[in-house]
Structure 1
Amino acid sequence: MAMETEILGLHHISAITGNLSANIDFYTRVLGLRLVKVTVNFDDPSSYHLYYGDGVGHPGTILTFFVWPGADRGRLGVGQAALISFAIPQSAFGYWVNRFHELNITYQGPTRRFGEQTLVVRDPDGISIELVAYAGPLAQTSWEGSIIPAESAIHGYAGATLWEDDADATGHFLTEVMRFHKVAEEQQTLRYEIGLGGAGSRLDVRRASGFWGGTMGTGQIHHLAWRVATDDVQKQWREHLLKSEAEVTPILDRKYFHSIYFPEPGGVLFEIATDPPGFTVDEPVEQLGTRLQLPSWLEHEREEIVQELPPLPGRVQ
């Protein structure tokens, strides 16, 4: 497989929340991300699917949530993504320490991981969010309309961390099948990068042999999505993964991108998603996230779907 068709880095990360209002408040009012899309889980239209990101929802900035009120809480363990890492300017580190103090939000740190200062906070469902004072160029833009000053705002992903019972099997899959490169190792964590490296290209794999297995539910990360530039590149990756004996889904239309899904050897669900068409296919930039959007194949069910969903304050359904 020709590597001019490389994976470019993280496209988005998807997680599960049980508390709609607390989730929106934390990611928009505490972290300063923009709610760029309100839609439903296409596989379960009775539940919301929220997308946060920068001002446009560029790939590499997107964090999504399936909203499952009343669902069982998950348990973090091996075979799961355990940490979401966002990049902030190095000069913004003190701002975030002060902000968490002012908001009375408990945080862990400052600590150093792979030579960079980090802070870790937990969202209302208990998901660990790491802010990394990123040493390299910040490739992604921030959102100008954010509550956070532009010079201190989050600039998309730094990476993510997996917990694995057999870290070597996962590492082999990453390097031999997905074309990651191992770039560092610190204590029990191995760091890999994809593509040209840099912000959003990292994946850390923590050795956690013998630790209990995780269970999916609220407060857990559901999957990691990796980005490719075009539909043709995605098709090539699907063929490559099938030849590598990975269990890959057909290409699925997610309206804002096209997706294939497959588990890595440890059980973490991966996705490869296309950059286009993006979030402005059904809303102009200035109105992103202000109205419930449905794919064409569900639009005729809008009235029934809205009746099943809880109201979303300040937004039109």
Structure 2
Amino acid sequence: MELLGNHHVSAMTADASLNLEFYTKVLGMRLVKKTVNQDDTSVYHLFYGDEKGNPGTELTFFEIPRAAKNHEGVSSISSISLRVRDNQALAFWKEQFGKLIIPHEEIVERGGRLTLAFQDPEGQRLLMVSDQENKGVKGGTHWKNSPISEENAIRGLGPIRLTVRKPEKTVAVLTNLLGFREKESYASLVQNQPAIRVFETGEGGSGAEVHIEERSDLPFERLGRGGVHHVAFRVKDDEELKQWIERIAAAGFQHSGYVDRFYFHSLYFREPNGILFELATDGPGFDTDEQLDYLGETLALPPFLEPKRQQIEAKLKPLNTK
């Protein structure tokens, strides 16, 4: 068994319309699925990705209307990276953010790659990362209808940064339980803080990395809009997922058991610092119930929710995705 890389990250928004505008119109990602939170069907769950929403390209958002602002701290997924093809694409985005008055920083090196930190309208902490020097898991496929050219388009998820107070406990889960390898470390950009440690799985590269940041100067995070709910790692298929369930149970972790999300199948558990991990299968995929050319245009519901469509739609605020 070996995890193949990062599968998706699920974050929080208080405004689905604002979120949709930013991630599709500004960042040029494709809305590959407009559905609902399967644990609370009164709110949207939006999935963005490449042309098909391939595993490793998915950034998803739960809409929680009136959610309080996220308060940054430890025991958190503190940064989501988005891959672009090369350093020139990074320069393009820096210019774009300047024109559009989007909060951003200077281009700096992190972990041997050039990066550009920026924020979405709700303060979500994001990082563009150049794939120019990258080797390992390949990026996604450009969506032909994206407002961003193929040369500058987002290619998928890059490294995920976890910020914790006691890193060794999280490191033990990543390496001893999940099979990640420690690759290297790089200096923190925060003064007087330990180096950030890099772990990778599968083929490695930016699409298969987790970065661990140790911070003793921060309180615990209070999750809200602009925060991240969980990170998911790629599992080949159902057979391997069931083996992972056995392995995690044997290690003494409480877990969700097998969860059928229809578009993929999952297992959830919390590592010792309280961060929610998910293991998710590569399939069946987002074109299971919609044609590829029309992904995300209408409200999609898995079969077990379809009988409740009328009640579900009545509770949702209309969201124009065509």
TM-score bin (small chain): over 0.9
2:61 pairs with 1:65: yes
1:280 aligns with one of 269, 287, 298: 287
After superposition, residues 229-308 of structure 1 pair within 5 angstroms as: 229-308=236-315
Q: What TM-score, normalized by structure 1, do the two folds share?
A: 0.95
Quote the sequence identity (%): 40
* Counterpart in the other structure of 2:96: 99
SS at match of 1:302: helix
* Counterpart in the other structure of 1:31: 27
Report the AA paired with residue 264 of structure 1. E
Runs (5+) with no aligned partner, structure 1: none
Shift of 1:199: 3.1
1:76 aligns with one of 66, 72, 79: 72
2:319 pairs with 1:312: yes
* Counterpart in the other structure of 2:38: 42
* Counterpart in the other structure of 1:166: 166
* Counterpart in the other structure of 1:108: 105
Structure 1 segments of 4+ aligned residues over 3 angstroms from their partners = none
- Does the CA contact (< 8 Å) of 1:86 and 1:132 recur in 2? yes
What are the superposed Cα offsets for residues 1-49 of structure 1, whole Å, 9 maximum, x if unpaired? xxxx210011110001001111001101111100000000000000000
* Counterpart in the other structure of 1:126: 123
SS at match of 2:97: helix
2:211 pairs with 1:201: no
* Counterpart in the other structure of 1:136: 134
SS at match of 2:206: coil
Using the alignment, how far apart are the partners of 2:321 and 2:161 within structure 1? 34
- Does the CA contact (< 8 Å) of 1:139 and 1:199 recur in 2? no
Shift of 1:140: 2.4
2:212 pairs with 1:218: no
- Does the CA contact (< 8 Å) of 2:125 and 2:226 recur in 1? no
Shift of 1:101: 1.7
* Counterpart in the other structure of 1:157: 157
Report the AA paired with residue 225 of structure 1. A
Using the alignment, how far apart are the partners of 2:13 and 2:90 within structure 1? 27
- Does the CA contact (< 8 Å) of 1:142 and 1:156 recur in 2? no
What are the superposed Cα offsets for residues 292-315 of structure 1, whole Å, 9 maximum, x if unpaired? 011222212111111110011245
Q: What TM-score, normalized by structure 2, do the two folds share?
A: 0.94
Using the alignment, how far apart are the partners of 2:217 and 2:112 within structure 1? 28
* Counterpart in the other structure of 1:180: 180
Report the AA paired with residue 123 of structure 1. D
SS at match of 1:150: coil
1:19 aligns with one of 12, 15, 22: 15
Report the AA paired with residue 20 of structure 2. I
CA RMSD, Structure 1 to Structure 2 (Å): 1.2
Using the alignment, how far apart are the partners of 2:172 and 2:113 within structure 1? 26
* Counterpart in the other structure of 2:191: none
